[in-house]
Amino acid sequence: MRGVKGVVLCGGEGKRLRPISYYFQKTMIPVGRSQKPLLEYAIRLLRFHGITDLALLVGYKAEQIVNYFEDGSRLNVNITYAYDNPEMRGTAGSVLNAYKKKAIGKNETLLIYYGDILTNMNLQDFLRYHGEKNAKATVALAKGFTVRVGIADIDREGRIRGFREKPKLKKPVSIAIVALDAEAIRDIEHLMSGRKELDLMGDVIPYIMKTEKNVYGYITDAFWYDVGSTEAYEKLDTNKVEEMLGFLYR
């Protein structure tokens, strides 16, 4: 397999985490018993699976990230920073901007990790699957996602027939980790032409699915948790974090 670059998206303003994100970069909120930054768990997971060449795509409150992680040597990784460009907004825009700034190479497999999630997923197995499928893009998916609100069953007239409280979805959901061959950068460049904002999951992945049909889903039963909202952060179980991710600090 070609070289792998870990690409962590950590530049967003974290609007769903307000008012906490007025003071913290969203990926720097303290997590777990030892109150380490959320982003540190992602970096340690990447390193645990042998991915030590990292690009952090930063913007809002970038100084908090840079001052804490510096060049990455304290965690035995090599970190390159790519500062967001207002002319290339959105997750795919940030990836393209990082490529333009040479934080991402043209002959690398990109493991794109959204910086506001916690997971213990086996990243090496994920990358192996991506390579075996000869995929242009592979999206990590989880089964049994529990909806955090009740779902109403209504008839044609709008009458409520019943509620299902926090049901589990039958369809797998994205857990915000994507493997992308660097050739996909050309697709991003094509889609970005004449635009200032482009989303990886909303624009780029559907385009590749339509034009090449070379997008695969990797289904995992690993622990994962989206910490991207104030409600989710408040409900995050510290003991669960230690149980599922404590191995990263041993």
Cβ neighbour number for residue 128 with a 10 Å cutoff = 13
The predicted structure's pLDDT at residue 172: 75
Contact 23, 71 (CB under 8 A): no
Q: Please determine, for residue 184, whether its predicted confidence score (pLDDT) is greater than 70.
A: yes
- pLDDT bracket for residue 39 (50, 70, 90): very high
Q: How far apart are CA 173 and CA 123, in angstroms?
A: 17
Q: Which class in CATH covers the domain with range 4-249?
A: alpha beta
**168, pLDDT greater than 60:** no
Which whole number is the average pLDDT over 198-215? 89
Closest CA to 231 of 10, 18, 13: 18
| Residues 147, 207: Cα–Cα separation, whole Å | 28
In this model, does residue 146 exceed pLDDT 60? no
| Coil, helix or strand at residue 41 | helix
Selection from 53, 75, 61 nearest residue 28 by Cα: 61
Give the global pTM.
0.86
Burial class for 236, CB neighbours closer than 10 Å (0-12, 13-18, 19+): middle
Q: Which helix (H) or strand (E) holds 215?
A: strand 215-220
Q: What is the mean pLDDT of residues 228-249?
A: 91
